[in-house]
Amino acid sequence: MKEFPVSDIVIAITAGSLLFFLLCAFIVAFTLVFVRKRQQHKIEKQQIKDQFSKNLLEAQLEIREQTLKHIGYELHDNLGQIASLIKINLSIIDLNAREKAEEKLDETKNLIRKLISDIKGLSVSLNSDHVVNTGLLEGLKDEIERIKRLGLHKVIFENDAKKVSLDPNKTIILFRMSQEILNNTLKHSDATCISVGVALSGNFLKLTFKDDGVGFNIDKALKSGGSGLMNLKTRAKLIRADLQITSSVNTGTEIIINTPLANEADN
């Protein structure tokens, strides 16, 4: 039997030990890097969630401010006018002219019914819990019915999504964005026709708002510091939505919100 020189055996043992040591060192180094990367990923994920929470709080404060403005607008331009008409009607009723008095009373009753209906509609539109419980689609339907009751515009609602499941925060933000778009359309567009579309494609929800109004210069509106457009952009960014605004003077406006159904901040 052939015997190996002692020096060869020593070299083999040394080389094997060195390789084993290098392998162990590699495993340890790889484990340390993996643990460090994992911890860094957790930290970054937490930072993203913290930033999301901060942005969400800021958006909620902005929404609250816009809601107060919306209440003021409704009280002054809608409910206030109806209440004034009721007061005028009651003040000019001539009890000596029975037939005319009955006509004025019937007219006043109709105005009171409208006032109650509009107050109820306003209450529903301001209740975020109601929107979360009933869903975004029902909230949009209520807003469209509110606009229809004004009797000033032709309103079209096209819904290709039977059911939409969204995070409560995203539901509220999308609903308030929709309210802001529709309210701005009512106040500034001079439109005769307003259309709202809802479509569901895979993991994305698409909301489309169109009007045939006077339109506006988008760049000019942004440069002038228009809070409406900036609010929409800020909220769209918060929920990872793609916001597209197409408009020019005298050609109407189209606004598209395309957002993922899942809340990406939790991924």
pLDDT of residue 207: 94
CA–CA distances in Å: residue 10 to residues 1, 3, 15, 19, 24: 19, 14, 8, 14, 21
Structural element, H or E, at residue 1: none
User: pLDDT of 254-263, one tens digit each?
Assistant: 999 999 987 5
Q: Which residues of the chain have pLDDT under 70?
A: 1-10, 12, 44-81, 120-129, 224-227, 263-267
Instruction: Please state, in angstroms and rounded to a whole number, the distance separating the CA atoms of residues 135 and 163.
Output: 9
pLDDT of residue 211: 93
Residue 116 is encoded by which pair of tokens?
């109650």
User: pLDDT of 143-167, one tens digit each?
Assistant: 888 888 777 889 999 988 777 888 8
pLDDT of residue 8: 61
pTM given for the model: 0.58
Q: How many residues does the chain have?
A: 267
8-state DSSP, 9: H
Fold of 153-267: Heat Shock Protein 90 (3.30.565)
pLDDT of residue 64: 58
